[in-house]
Structure 1
Amino acid sequence: MIDGHMHLENGPLTKEYVLSFVEAAKQKGLDEIQILDHTHRFIEFEPIYEELKQYEVQKVWLENKKMKFKDHISDFIQLMEDIKKMDLPVKVTYGLEVCYVPQHEEYIRKVLSQYHFDFIVGAIHSIDGILYDMSFSKELLWDKYDVNHIYKRYYELVFQLVESDLFTQLAHPDTIKLFNIYPTYDLLPTYEKLAQLLNQHHMKAENNVGCYYRYNHQDLGLSDELLKVFKKAHVQLITTSDAHQPSDVGSYIKEAVQRIESISLDD
Structure 2
Amino acid sequence: MIDGHMHLENGPLTKEYVLEFVEEAHKKGIDKIQILDHTHRFIEFEPIYMELKDYEVQKTWLENKKMKFKDHLADFVNLMEDVKAMDLPIKVTYGLEVCYVPQHEEFIRNILSQYHFDFLVGAIHSIDGILYDMGFSKALLWDKYDVNHIYKRYYELIFQLIESDLFTQLAHPDTIKLFEIYPTYDLKPTYQRLSELLNEHHMKAENNTGCYYRYNHPDKGLSDELLENFKKNHVQLITASDAHKPADVGSYIKDAEERNKI
TM-score by length of 2: 1.00
| 1:44 partnered with 2:44 | yes
Q: Which residue of 1 aligns with 2:20?
A: 20
Q: Distance in 2 between matches of 1:260 and 1:7?
A: 23
Question: What secondary structure does 1:37 align onto?
Answer: strand
Q: Which residue of 1 aligns with 2:159?
A: 159
Pairing of 1:118-267 with structure 2 (within 5 A): 118-262=118-262
Question: What secondary structure does 1:36 align onto?
Answer: strand
Q: Which residue of 1 aligns with 2:98?
A: 98
List per-residue Cα deviations over 1:39-98 (Å, max 9, x = no partner).
000000000000000000000000000000000010000000000000101100000000
1:8 shift after superposition: 0.1
Q: Distance in 2 between matches of 1:225 and 1:142?
A: 23
Unaligned runs of 5+ in 2: none
Q: Distance in 2 between matches of 1:60 and 1:156?
A: 28
Question: What secondary structure does 1:5 align onto?
Answer: strand
Identity of matched residues, %:
82
Q: Which residue of 2 aligns with 1:265?
A: none
Q: Distance in 2 between matches of 1:175 and 1:5?
A: 14
Q: Which residue of 2 aligns with 1:29?
A: 29
Q: Distance in 2 between matches of 1:26 and 1:170?
A: 25
1:227 shift after superposition: 0.3
List per-residue Cα deviations over 1:93-113 (Å, max 9, x = no partner).
000000000000000000100
Segments of 4+ moved more than 2 angstroms:
none
List per-residue Cα deviations over 1:113-163 (Å, max 9, x = no partner).
001000000000000000000000000000000000000000000000000
Q: Distance in 1 between matches of 2:188 and 2:159?
A: 15
Question: What secondary structure does 1:243 align onto?
Answer: coil
Q: Distance in 2 between matches of 1:109 and 1:201?
A: 16
Q: Which residue of 1 aligns with 2:56?
A: 56
Unaligned runs of 5+ in 1: 263-267
Question: What secondary structure does 2:24 align onto?
Answer: helix
Q: How many residues align?
A: 262
Which letter maps to 2:164?
S
Q: Which residue of 1 aligns with 2:80?
A: 80
Q: Distance in 1 between matches of 2:257 and 2:207?
A: 9
